[in-house]
Chains A and B, each alone.
Chain A
C-alpha cells in the first residue's frame, strides 16, 4: 500500500529510492565483520556521548582533592587526575566534544566545498579559475599554524574552533567535487540531459551531484577522524576547547606533567580517541569498497 502511493508520487518515490539506496549501502558495509565492528563502535560512542550524564558515576567537574592521582580502582575505574576528577567520567563526557567537532566540521566543510567545487567544475570559466587558484594558495598555507594562530587570537571556544578548522578544511572537498564534476560532465548522461534541454541548475543538482555523492561520502567519513585528531591536537596545545569542558586532547595534556607518576591520566583519553578514529577510518575504507568497487586495491 505504502509502496504504491510512493510510486504514484514522484517526490516520495525519489525519497524512497534514496532510502533504499542508503539501506543498500549500510547492508554492504555490514557484509564484512570489519564493517560491523566499525559501525557498532561508532554507534556505541554516540550512545555514550548522548547518555554521558546517566552513565557517568560522578557529575562532570566534581573534584575530590583527597583522591588526587588515584590509580584505577573499583571507585575510579580509570583513576583520577591531578585535581581528583574521575577520569572515567571525563572520558565519557569527552566523547561529546570529539563527535560534535568531527561531524559538525565535516558537515560544514563538505557542504561548502562540494557545492563550490561542483559549481566551479560545472560552469568553468573565470569562476573556476579564480576558485582553483585560491585553493592552490590555501594548500600551500600551513594549516596548523593557521588554526593555532587563529585560536590563540580568538581564544578557546567551541565555535571558534569549528571555524578555525573549517576555514581551510573545505579545500579537499572542493578539489574532489570539482575533479569529479569535470570528469562526469563529459559522460553521456550529462550530454543527454543537455540535449534534452534540461535546465543547467537541474542537471547540476539532479544528475551531477547525486553521481559524485558516493566519493564525497567516503572522503567525508575519513575527514571526520582527521578533524577529531586535529581538534584533540589543538586542545592538547591549549588552544582548542576551553579547559572547563572535558576534551580528550586537553586531558592528555593535563596528564603530561604527571606522566612519570600517574600514567593513566594521559593514556586513557588517548586510547578513547584512537579507538574512535580507528573505527571511523575503518568505516570510511569499508564504504569505499562498497561504493567504489573499482578502487579495491586497498581492501
Chain B
C-alpha cells in the first residue's frame, strides 16, 4: 500500500523534473551571446569551422527541434557530450559524484554530531546560559559566509598548526586504484590504512566548513521543535505515568520533534548533493560543484545543463524521501 503511494508521488514529481529540464534548456539558450562564439573566444577560426561546430551541437536547428533532440537524449539517459572535454556529460558527472557524495556524508555526520545534542540540551534547559550560548552560536553560524569560514579554517589548521591538508581528496604521493570512486571505500579495498587516514584528513576541513553552517540551521530547528514537543500533553502524560525523564525525552518528545528536523536536513542534503560550488572550489574538491564552476567558466553549457538536471532530480527525490520518512516517524501522517 505504502509502495503504491510512493509510486504515485514519484509520478507526480515527474512534471517538476521535466519542467526543470525545459527551464534549464531555455535558460542557457536565451542567455545573451552565441555560445559557440563565446566558446571559441578570440581564437582564429574560419566561418566554416564555426558552422561545423554549430551543426555538431545542433545549434543550427530551430529551438523546438533542439528541445526535442535534448529530450530524446534524456530518454536514453544521455545528457550530451561535453564541448570542452569531449566526454559524455553522464561520465563526467558520474566521475565527480562520488566525491560530492562523500563530502555530503561527512558534512551530515558533522552536522548531526553537533546539532542533535546541542539542540536537545538547549531545549531541555530553555532560557539558561547554555541555551543562550547555543542560540548565539547558531545565529553566528547562519550568518557565516562559507567561503570565508573555509579560508579561516585553512589559515588555522593548515598554516598555524600544520595539522590538516587543504586541498584535494588524497595526498598526491599516495596512489589508490579507483574502484568505486569513493576514496574512503577505495583506500579500504586497497588495504591501505595509511591512505585511508590520509583521505579522512582531507575530508575534515571541507566537511567542517559545510557542517558547522548546516549544524547551526539544524540545531535551531531541533531546539524549537523539541521545546514544542516537551510542552505537549502526551509528554505530561508520560511523566505522570512515571516514565523516567530520559525516556520521556528520547521516546516521547524527540521522536515527534524530529519531523521538522528531517525536513530541514533533507532539503539541506539535497542541496549538498548538487555539489557545493564555493566550498569545493576553495578546497579543490573534485566534485560536481567544482565541475559546474569550471564548466561555467569554460562555457561548457552542456555540462552545466546536465548538472542542473541532476540537481533538480535530487531535489525532487529528496523531497519525496523526506515525506516517506515522515510516515515512519509518525504513522498517522499519510502520503
Contact = CB atoms under 8 A, between A and B. Distances in A.
Nearest to A133: B19
A274 B144 contact: yes
B292 A145 contact: yes
A294 to B, nearest CB: 12
Nearest to A235: B147
Nearest to B292: A145
A142 B293 CA distance: 13
Interface in A248-279: 249, 252-253, 255-256, 259-260, 263, 266-267, 270, 273-274, 277-278
A225 B304 contact: no
B222 to A, nearest CB: 12
Given A153-B38, A154-B32, A148 B145 contact: no
Nearest to A273: B145
A256 B151 contact: yes
Contacts of A186: none
Residue among A136, A140, A152, A260 with the most chain B CB within 10 A? Answer: A140
Contacts of A142: 271, 274, 307-308, 311-312
B20 A141 contact: yes
A285 B142 CA distance: 12
A237 B282 CA distance: 10
B152 A267 contact: yes
A194 B28 CA distance: 46
A149 B145 contact: no
Contacts of B159: 259-260, 263
Contacts of A297: 224, 227-228
A297 B20 CA distance: 36
Given A146-B27, A153-B32, A274 B16 contact: no
Nearest to B35: A153
A53 to B, nearest CB: 26
A55 interface: no
B190 interface: no
B31 A281 contact: no
A66 to B, nearest CB: 26
A137 B220 contact: no
A298 B219 CA distance: 11
A129 to B, nearest CB: 13
B189 interface: no
B143 interface: yes
Contacts of A233: 145-147, 278
B62 interface: no
Given A278-B139, A285-B139, A232 B147 contact: yes
A144 interface: yes
Interface in B96-113: none
B33 interface: yes
Nearest to A295: B224
B124 interface: no
B67 interface: no
B316 interface: yes
A266 B282 CA distance: 13
Contacts of A274: 140, 143-145, 148
A277 B143 contact: yes
Interface in A207-262: 225, 229, 232-233, 236-237, 249, 252-253, 255-256, 259-260
Interface residues of A, number: 43
B148 A252 contact: yes
Contact of A150 (B31, B224, B227): B31
Contacts of A249: 145, 147
A282 interface: yes
A292 to B, nearest CB: 14
Contact of B142 (A138, A154, A252, A281): A281
A237 B148 contact: no
A58 to B, nearest CB: 24
Interface string B270-303: 0100100110011000000000110011010100
A153 B31 contact: yes
A259 B24 contact: no
B23 A148 contact: no
B304 A136 contact: no
B214 interface: no
Contact of B147 (A252, A285, A298): A252
Interface in A184-222: none
Contacts of B228: 297
Nearest to B224: A297
Given A149-B31, A154-B31, A298 B220 contact: yes
B315 interface: yes
B308 A141 contact: yes
B278 A137 contact: no
12 contacts: A133-B19, A138-B23, A142-B271, A149-B31, A229-B143, A232-B145, A232-B147, A236-B147, A253-B147, A263-B155, A266-B148, A270-B151
Given A148-B277, A278-B139, 4 more contacts: A146-B27, A153-B38, A249-B147, A256-B282
Interface pairs A-B: 10 shortest CB-CB:
A270-B148, A153-B31, A277-B143, A142-B311, A278-B143, A297-B224, A137-B19, A140-B315, A140-B312, A236-B147
